[in-house]
Structure 1
């Protein structure tokens, strides 16, 4: 009852503003304001306002939203753990079996929890970086060529 009264008042106020805007010869803006102001009364007449009010004040509905939030949280948590690269259940079993037998586990199946990368990439030796101090002339040769081209 209160929601219908508020929606009716908002629609009436909007139509009044639209009339003032049309009086000022801004017909396009007035038509747009009138369209927006008719939406609340249309929602009341279709019964959507009663439906939303019924949903908003029922504890069972909020409990349902809470259950949906917990389900979403569990889903996102499992996805985050899966993306960390822990590996599949079969890979973990193979690694545990290999560790129990004393053999070296395949590097691709060994989980790497810290870096989020498989163990082969985390433990692989890094490529040697070219020592830049060894030949300073080579580093700036292309820059010097560009400067000479422009006469600088």
Structure 2
């Protein structure tokens, strides 16, 4: 009886707050507050409050809650282990089927490969580079040469 009274009072207070919020023209927030305020009232009307009160003081009910908690922990543990093993399998498969570095080059006999092969290399323009500059850009030059640029 006390639980029903408390739930009804909480619902009434929530509806009052929603009315004030709606008065301030914040209708979306007011609707959310009404939804939350109706939950305790719905629990009272369905009899769930009585059932919860009788369950809260029952030792057998708490043992049941513990068993359900253990089952949930076991489910989550197996799920985590399964995801971990699938992740490792996917990484291992990616290593075996990795693309070779030469795979980015065009296929032999394609028009782009023929066009590059028939084109003579352009002589370097401007003044010759010093040894310090050559070290800085050697990686970039290798990449550009690989792609025929």
Q: TM-score, normalised by structure 1?
A: 0.45
Instruction: Point out the structure with max Rg over C-alpha.
Output: 2
Higher RCO, 1 or 2 (CA under 8 Å, sep at least 6)? 2
Q: TM-score, normalised by structure 2?
A: 0.46
